[in-house]
Amino acid sequence: MVADGPTSAGAPIDILGVTQAFRSGGKDLPVLDDVSISARQGEFVALIGPSGSGKSTLLRLLAGLDKPLFGEVYVGGAPVTGPDPSRPLVFQDPTLLPWRTVRQNVAVGPQARGILKQSRGRIDAALELVGLTEFADAWPAQLSGGMAQRAALARALVGDPSVLLLDEPLGKLDALTRRVLQGELLSLWRERGFTAVLVTHDVSEALLLADRVVVFSPRPARVREAIDVDLGRPRDQSTREFNALRRHILEILDADQTGPDRDRTARADHIARLDDKEVLT
């Protein structure tokens, strides 16, 4: 329960041989190709890959919004059969209802489940967790981008998630707000103990936050590599180790974009240039 302080609520994840395709224009569009990813209880996993490779598709499977064509998805040892408040999905766009206050937005889930009355404490606790207590009665239009995303996080936390699914949640925020929210996300993860799956296109963000970074190939996505981030916390982006990991991930992504036939020197140059950019896709 949110109101009861920290729980060891994290659930392990097992994605086993998942293949997904969509029917598009009379043809099958393969999106995920035999993808297997596991996460330990309470692990923070970042997922990075080219635009359109299938990252959001994978999160939707974990959220129970879609079913895979082949393969299995388990959370906490049980197959995922549908959406559940214990597996909320947070999007890039906070999608707050404009005619509801911040508190009423956070209350949407409990209200829909008919447990609004007994959830008052949890709603207040969720608002407190994201630092929005003073803005509980504000309207979404009155919030900054960062505050709106905090409200979206509170809405996800109110269900006491065992798995928090994050689809580029900080993607639209300015660099400074983004840094602040990265820190807050990390504190929430530490405090609440949920397993986190963060889709991001920012290699540094993945390395700042995650225990492990899974790199996807272009669509149909296969797991190119899963990289353990053996760096202590808090992390320092300026260290040699951090930059070695960053360079390694950029190399994988860049090799996919330029193709295997390109001249190796040209590719190395390209990587050096990419190195100066945070954002890849």
Ligand X SMILES: Nc1ncnc2c1ncn2[C@@H]1O[C@H](COP(=O)(O)OP(=O)(O)O)[C@@H](O)[C@H]1O
| Contact footprint for Mg ion (CB under 5 A) | 56
The 41-80 site mask, x for binding ligand X (CB under 6 A), equals: --------x-xxxxxxx-----------------------
Task: Supply the minimum distance, in Å, between the C-beta of residue 56 and Mg ion.
Answer: 3
Closest CB to ligand X among residues 56, 182 = 56
Closest CB to ligand X among residues 31, 157 = 31
Task: Supply the minimum distance, in Å, between the C-beta of residue 216 and Mg ion.
Answer: 11
Tell me if residue 225 falls in helix, strand or coil: strand
Q: Quick one: what does residue 22 bind among ligand X, Mg ion, none, with the CB cut-off 5 to 8 Å set by partner type?
A: ligand X
Contacts for 54 with CB less than 8 Å, ≥ 6 apart: 20, 31, 32, 35, 216, 219, 220, 221
Q: Quick one: what does residue 54 bind among ligand X, Mg ion, none, with the CB cut-off 5 to 8 Å set by partner type?
A: ligand X
Closest CB to ligand X among residues 66, 241 = 66
Residue 87 touches ligand X, criterion: CB under 6 A: no
d(CA 76, CA 11): 5
d(CA 23, CA 204): 35
Task: Supply the minimum distance, in Å, between the C-beta of residue 164 and ligand X.
Answer: 17
d(CA 228, CA 212): 4
Place of tokens 């447990």: 115
**Whether 193 contacts 11, CB under 8 Å:** no
Q: Which of residues 194-233 bind ligand X (CB under 6 A)?
A: 219
Q: Which of residues 9-38 bind ligand X (CB under 6 A)?
A: 22, 24, 29, 31
Task: Supply the minimum distance, in Å, between the C-beta of residue 215 and Mg ion.
Answer: 15
d(CA 192, CA 82): 23
Q: DSSP character for 170?
A: T
Q: Quick one: what does residue 52 bind among ligand X, Mg ion, none, with the CB cut-off 5 to 8 Å set by partner type?
A: ligand X
Closest CB to ligand X among residues 24, 238 = 24
Tell which residue, 195, 162, 10, 154, has the closest CA to residue 86: 162
**Whether 170 contacts 205, CB under 8 Å:** yes
d(CA 163, CA 44): 10
Closest CB to Mg ion among residues 56, 119 = 56
Q: Quick one: what does residue 246 bind among Mg ion, ligand X, none, with the CB cut-off 5 to 8 Å set by partner type?
A: none
Task: Supply the minimum distance, in Å, between the C-beta of residue 66 and ligand X.
Answer: 7
List the strands of the sheet with 13-24, edge to edge. 27-39, 13-24, 70-75, 78-79
Task: Supply the minimum distance, in Å, between the C-beta of residue 210 and Mg ion.
Answer: 17
By the criterion CB under 6 A, which residues form the site for ligand X?
A: 22, 24, 29, 31, 49, 51-57, 219
